[in-house]
Structures are given as structure tokens and as C-alpha cells.
Structure 1
């Protein structure tokens, strides 16, 4: 594990997921299903099989229903921070924290997760645990929300809170940036790391419908530094009005941005392609280009 700053109240995250498990409904899972399909498309591009797979942050099993039997997966183990979510997933599912996975080293051929890691406090530590759980040359594949997620709501809430409460606190949880995640994969010991992102824009009839959907998804704010208690009705009303003023379309609908970052890496193995050591080249660029090589003049030589 690594030293980490406590950004999120993990008990609050669990409560939010428990509540979502009791009454989220299919409509609230649309974003998760869309992200899962994109993640599985990435998995299909890998031409190999993964007999034993782990899905972390499985929620109610949305992705697992499609994942079983796909990409040569014979056995799928699932886990979620919420016991209520894990119970709904069915199959081999258990309640487990991404920050303290209960698995021994070198067990799984695949570790995969959909829209869960953005709630983790110790992301480097969680990635290290997931890498350790992989067999050599096992695949890590995950999607998480990025820093541009809900950018419209962040702005509207910030402006409303400053106007109504003469202060500002995090009302939407902070999220990771693409530029930081490649280094975290390498720090976790994953080989051949790849990080990319795409943006989904979801239209809602009004800002209150968006906030209700976030609650149904279990994605409401769990930042430790947020103000305690409920947001004042006047602040919510001001935020909704500001959201519509800034972003509403001609028919009154409002957009909500969700940035989805995909992380890919492999547990190190001697069979993987390795970078060449400096000075190990056995041929010259001039030969490959069929060009004549000219030495640098003395003034251009490094000293």
C-alpha cells in the first residue's frame, strides 16, 4: 500500500450504492451499460482467452451478465464495496473494498472494472493490489470517470453556493485527470500502459432530473471536505436556474458531460516486448534510408 490522502468517505460511498441497489432501476444503469459495452469492445480486441477473471466494482452485475463466457472466460469472480450490490450480481460475488482486495497474488488472468475507481482514495495502492492479483502477462482493463465529468454541474453549484452561502465547498466529488493516470499505471508495476478518454453527453429535461439520476446511480457527492447536511433548497434552486441559464438548449433540456477514461496494462512477463537498451542497435539509420552519412563538424560536436 501507499500513503494516501483521504478524499472520499468510503462509508458514504457504500451507503450511496446500497441505496441505489434498493431502487435504482434500469434507467439509472444506462450510463454504466454504455460504458460496459465500450469496455467489452476493448476486451474483444485482445485475441486471447482469460479463463479466470475478476470484476471489481461489479454493482448489480450489469457487465457480468455479458462478460460470462466472453473472451474465453470460464470463471468470473465479482466484488463490490456494497454488499447489497454484490448480492444482486449473483454468481460468485462478494462484498470487498477495492482498497483492500481479499485475494492472493497471481490468481487471475484478467482484472476488469467499470466506473468504480473514481471513488478510491488510494488509487496507486489499489492498482498495485490489482496488478499483484494478476498472473504474469494477465490483463488489467478498467474504465473510470475523469475530471471533466459533470463540469456543467460543478460550475452551476459553485456559482450558486457563492451567491447564496457566501462560501464554497466541494459539492461534486473530485476526479482524476488523464495526464496523471499513465504514471500511476507504471508506478503500480503494470507493463505496456495505455490511457485514453472519451466524452459522453447525456441530455436531461432539467437539472433536477440530472441530480435525481445521480442519486439513483449511487453517484452523489462523498467528498470528505464537503459541507455536512443537505444542500439548502435556495442553493439548489439557484444552481438549477444557473445551470439552465448557462447550458440549456432551445427546448429547455440540459447537457451533462461524462468523461470516461480507459486504463489498460499488463502484469509483467518475460514474453512481453521489451524496449531496446541505448546503444544496442545493430544497423544504421543511414543504411535503412539508403543515404550517405556525414560526420558533424567539430563546432557541432557536444562537449
Structure 2
């Protein structure tokens, strides 16, 4: 029996199509993710030939020179802009061991089957292939969440996606079979004049609510949330909210990779090393 899906796939595709024409005006989160991915990629001293840009948006990821890039996005408009393929991240239309490098920025937080997507990504990598990803997770949008809790204290509605934290992200990499898994995070704080600026950015980056069973937002609720959001303003009248960017690094297993030492194989004790 298939588990129930958290996200409405059709609504997610529509939101991405709606965001595509003006996405460049709201892409600061993905730009920060791509910067972080580029930094991590720069430390890898090897060449890549075939690259998959998974969740490509408009195709702004600059792949290393000399590589062939395949771009996939769940939205038809983004896929068309990037000259890529439309497909969901947990239903990849690619052959096993097709890529040396897979990058994914800004989409895994709204994928129904994240463990399945990660397993398919690992399958798509050749031995010793690299996976680099980033997405919004952790305790992101704490201020916005609190404002809506105040506005809907009597009848709270499901308006926010569940978030994956760093520890869970690392566990997911291990579960998917990646070698040398690393999960870490960076925090980006953004300040807004009002609630509507933040909501506008979320819509513009296709980051608004696509939960199954979501409840329409009424004017009364929106007005109450806007007032609660404004109550949290700094002395200059602006309200800060945070985005936790979760970064993943993993390698497809290969016999040539370094292996951790077998437990109990040390030849000297820690106490001796510390001079005790």
C-alpha cells in the first residue's frame, strides 16, 4: 500500500509555472544555495563529464566547463526555459549510472518521497559520482509561523510544509546508500517591511503552500496574521525572518573511496595520546 502523499503534485507544478516568468526577481534563496554548492564543488579536485541539474528552475546553475548538463524540473515552464525535461524529482526518467555529478537546489523540501528521490539520485550516479544539494529546512520562517499561529489560535490550519533538519538530512543520505555523507546548514536572515513582502517572495520563488488538504486563506486570517507579523517588528519597523539552508554532500559508493577504520583497530589509546 502506497503511503499518502503530503504534497499536491499538480498544484506544485502549477505554482512553478506561475512563478517562472518573474522568478529572477525572487531567486535570492536559490542564488545563496548555488553559491554554497559552488564553494563545495570548488574543493573537489576531479573532472566531471555528465551533470544532472535536478530542479533546475530557469537553468541558472553554471556547470563546470566541458560538461554536458541535463536539466529536469517539475514545472513545464521552467523545464522549457532551461531546455530541459519535465519530471518530478522522485520519478526520475534517467538510466542508472548516467551522471558523474548531480546537483539540486531549492526543491527537495517539497518532494513527496524524499527517501525515494535520494535513492534514485544515487542510482543515477556512476561509482564515485558526487551529489550536492541544498533546500530550505530546519526552523525556517519561525516568525511567519508564529504570526499565523496567533491569527488562527482557535482553529489552526495546515499552512506550512514540514521541515527536514540537519540530523534527519544526514540520516536520509545514509539510508539512500551514499558514501561519505555530510549534512550541514547555513542561516539567511531577511527583513521585511510587512507580511505581504514575505508572502510575495514565497509565491515568486514557488515556495508557497502546496500541501494536500490545504485550507484557503481568508481575508480575515490574512489581516490578523499581518498585524501579528507587524507586532514583531524591530525599532526600524522591519520584521526579520530566517531561512535555514540545509546542504547535502554524498558520493556514490566506489571501491576506491577511503573507508573508516574498523572499530577496535587502533594501535594506541586516547589516554596515551593525551599523556595521561
Q: Same fold judged by TM-score > 0.5? A: yes
**Could you say which residue in structure 2 is the equivalent of 1:213?**
201
How far did residue 62 of structure 1 move? 2.1
**Could you say which residue in structure 2 is the equivalent of 1:243?**
229
How far did residue 3 of structure 1 move? 5.8
Q: Any unmatched runs of 5+ in structure 1?
A: 293-303
Structure 1's 8 and 286: CA in aligned 2 closer, same or farther, altered over 3 A?
Answer: closer
How far did residue 251 of structure 1 move? 2.0
Deviation readout 1:14-41 (Å, 9 max, x if unpaired): 110000013x242211222122112111
**Could you say which residue in structure 2 is the equivalent of 1:199?**
187
Counterpart pick for 1:77 among 70, 76, 86 = 70
Q: In structure 2, how many angstroms separate the alpha carbons of the residues matched to 1:85 and 1:235?
A: 32
Question: What secondary structure does 1:62 align onto?
Answer: coil
How far did residue 45 of structure 1 move? 1.2
**Could you say which residue in structure 2 is the equivalent of 1:301?**
none
**Could you say which residue in structure 2 is the equivalent of 1:226?**
214
**Could you say which residue in structure 2 is the equivalent of 1:48?**
46
Q: How does 1:132-171 map to 2 (within 5 A)?
A: 132-162=123-153, 166-171=154-159
- Aligned: 1:184 with 2:172: yes
TM-score, structure 1 normalization? 0.86
Structure 1's 197 and 5: CA in aligned 2 closer, same or farther, altered over 3 A?
Answer: farther
How far did residue 254 of structure 1 move? 1.5
**Could you say which residue in structure 2 is the equivalent of 1:102?**
93
**Could you say which residue in structure 2 is the equivalent of 1:262?**
247
Cα contact 2:33–2:135 (8 A) shared by 1: no
Q: In structure 2, how many angstroms separate the alpha carbons of the residues matched to 1:145 and 1:288?
A: 44
Structure 1's 109 and 58: CA in aligned 2 closer, same or farther, altered over 3 A?
Answer: same
Structure 1's 241 and 172: CA in aligned 2 closer, same or farther, altered over 3 A?
Answer: same
Q: In structure 2, how many angstroms separate the alpha carbons of the residues matched to 1:235 and 1:287?
A: 61
Structure 1's 73 and 154: CA in aligned 2 closer, same or farther, altered over 3 A?
Answer: farther
Q: In structure 2, how many angstroms separate the alpha carbons of the residues matched to 1:254 and 1:233?
A: 21
Q: How does 1:58-69 map to 2 (within 5 A)?
A: 58-63=56-61, 66-67=62-63
Q: In structure 2, how many angstroms separate the alpha carbons of the residues matched to 1:224 and 1:185?
A: 26
**Could you say which residue in structure 2 is the equivalent of 1:296?**
none
Whichever of the two has the greater Rg, that structure is 1
Q: In structure 2, how many angstroms separate the alpha carbons of the residues matched to 1:268 and 1:219?
A: 33
Cα contact 1:17–1:218 (8 A) shared by 2: yes
**Could you say which residue in structure 2 is the equivalent of 1:10?**
9
The alignment yields a C-alpha RMSD, in angstroms, of 2.0
- Matched positions, count: 276
TM-score, structure 2 normalization? 0.94
- Aligned: 1:26 with 2:24: yes
Question: What secondary structure does 1:18 align onto?
Answer: helix
Cα contact 1:147–1:174 (8 A) shared by 2: no
Deviation readout 1:162-212 (Å, 9 max, x if unpaired): 2xxx31111122221222111110110000000001110112221111111
- Aligned: 1:118 with 2:103: no
Q: In structure 1, how many angstroms separate the alpha carbons of the residues matched to 2:161 and 2:124?
A: 28
Q: In structure 2, how many angstroms separate the alpha carbons of the residues matched to 1:209 and 1:181?
A: 30
